[in-house]
Amino acid sequence: MSRRFVASITAAVLGMTMAPAVASASPAQAAAAAPAISWTTCTDNKAHQCATVRVPLDWKRPNGPTTTVAVERRRASLPSKRIGAIFVNPGGPGESATAKAASFATLLGRSVTDRFDIIAVDPRGVGRSNPLVCTTPAGVSLPPTLDPTFPATVGEASRQLKYDNAVRLACKKTGGPLLDHMTTADVARDMDAVRGLIGDPHLTYVGFSYGTVLGQTYAAMFPGRVRAMVLDGVLDAGEWTAGPAARAIPVGGRIHSGEGAWAAVKEAYRQCSKAGKAKCRSAVGGVNEWHTVWQRMINRGPVTMMGRKYQWTDLVTGTLYALYDPSTVPEALDEVHNLYLTVTGKPLPPDAGLAPRRTPPTRPGFGWSAAAAPGDSVPAAKSAVICSDSVNPTDPMATWRAAIGTRSATLGFNSAWTWNTSQCTLWPASGNSAYRGSFKVRPATPILFMNPLYDPATSVTAARIAHANAPGSRLVTGNRIGHLLLNDSACAVKIRTHYLLTKQLPARDVACTDVKSIY
């Protein structure tokens, strides 16, 4: 799996109860009354077809104002053997699905794309769909941010919260009606409407990362319409939306991502020690090198190495971003090793150099956007979705308390993920259209969950919870360090392909062990 492909397909990675049935007209009913989709050749990919579909802004008012969503289709290569369409979502939230349609076709392989159309629907407000636009007032710019890291002190927390408040204010004043209707439930209804328009009686779906929340939501809202559903890199939809700690801990801090990241670090050091010092400089010290650097930074403050200052938040974010792609993990461990030599007073190796400052694997996704200039558009689609979906504290400083309170358990990684959703406190959208459970619904065809054992964004813990809450489902794990299982395990690919073609799940959960070591 090339790094370019991994970067193109992954997303960085974070109440009220509604009945599974839509309150008024269902998406299927609205689609039946709408004209057929008018496809044209996509301007950026002549082999694909593009279209725009108009859907109700508020699905409770099917005859009210509308918004548009963009759709892209790759036709099945063997039309005479076509089974149907596979809807795909790459994650985020805030990531364009149409931009990844070709990557999904490559990932799923010819045996699938020969017999299925690939359908990508940009979520409302995202990509080529009618965009969410939040702008700063003329002459007013956003305050500076800590991008790409997160607060380590109360002063830095205050700085980040000022930025968050400015984003919320911009969206409150300029986001318009769309801001109140960007929940995952809205996206699920839009997707079901497109399903109806293309004539498929049931939905086949493949979703990654946040796309697994969309899948779980669709399956809970429309269980009778699920033909097959593959969810790779699983988030616990229950904690994503609410959960017992929702009023004290922002959504990013309760979805188990921090523990997944720390598990990935420990596995990386295990593989390093097994590979030996000739391949990995940390083989002798192992994970104790991380602990030594961590304790030095926590107890005595930043460390300066080769003219660059590192504090514990830099240690966490730099490693976290590297963990998304297994090919970048050895470089990250080497950087920690050099920090270890520095704090223990030992000389650096002759070839020691500063690694480039790592940034989030995708944008939007993990991390914060750069400050907007006066009157500029503020990237807010990620927050508009996750904050509308979820119940959160109403005190902005709750983010600081939760981040510090959980810091030791995962050596800072849960702190990073907690700050990832700091904008959700006092988010100005109503969230009235959100679906917040129950997710314990058995769809017509049970779900196939897939997850690496060492995923820094979507922990296997969350996958196991989602699996336990989904009657009849199966969980396939792989011994991979990195975000998403993708195609790194031939064992998992075989199961996924067979399920998509036949709807047949394995007889039991499967632990695939064929992923190669990072060394």
Predicted confidence (pLDDT) per residue in 237-247, tens digit: 999 999 999 99
Q: pLDDT confidence of 141, banded at 50, 70, 90?
A: confident
pLDDT of 18: 31
Contact between 69 and 129 (Cβ < 8 Å): yes
Residue 374 has pLDDT above 80, yes or no: no
pLDDT of 145: 80
Q: What is the tens place of the pLDDT at every residue in 335-350?
A: 999 999 999 999 998 8
What secondary structure letter does DSSP report for 456?
A: S
Positions of E strands within 356-493? 448-454, 474-481
Contact between 483 and 237 (Cβ < 8 Å): no
Contact between 483 and 7 (Cβ < 8 Å): no
Mean pLDDT calculated for residue range 477-485: 98
Q: pLDDT confidence of 359, banded at 50, 70, 90?
A: low
Instruction: Tell me the range of 13-22, 136-145, 233-242 where mean pLDDT is highest.
Output: 233-242
- Mean of pLDDT over the chain: 90
pTM for this prediction: 0.92
Counting residues of the chain whose pLDDT is more than 90, the rounded percentage is 84
Residue 370 has pLDDT above 60, yes or no: no
pLDDT of 136: 87
Q: Which helix (H) or strand (E) holds 88?
A: strand 84-89
What is the distance between the alpha carbons of residues 277 and 285, in angstroms, rounded to a whole number? 10
Q: What is the tens place of the pLDDT at every residue in 429-474?
A: 999 999 999 999 999 999 999 999 999 999 999 999 999 999 999 9
Cβ-based burial of 17 (10 A; exposed 0-12, middle 13-18, buried ≥19): exposed
Q: pLDDT confidence of 514, banded at 50, 70, 90?
A: very high
Mean pLDDT calculated for residue range 421-431: 95
Q: pLDDT confidence of 426, banded at 50, 70, 90?
A: very high
Lowest mean pLDDT among 121-135, 248-262, 368-382: 368-382
Q: ∠ CA(6), CA(12), CA(17), 5° rounding?
A: 130
Residue 288 has pLDDT above 50, yes or no: yes
What secondary structure letter does DSSP report for 430?
A: -
Counting residues of the chain whose pLDDT is more than 70, the rounded percentage is 90
Contact between 117 and 85 (Cβ < 8 Å): yes
Lowest mean pLDDT among 177-186, 356-365, 428-437: 356-365
Query: Residue 197: which of 43, 82, 39 has the closest Cα?
Result: 39
Q: Three-state SS across 380-427?
A: CHHHHHHHHHCCCCCCCHHHHHHHHHCCCCCCCHHHHHHHCCHHHCCC
Higher-confidence residue of 31 and 178: namely 178
Q: Which helix (H) or strand (E) holds 85?
A: strand 84-89
pLDDT of 369: 44
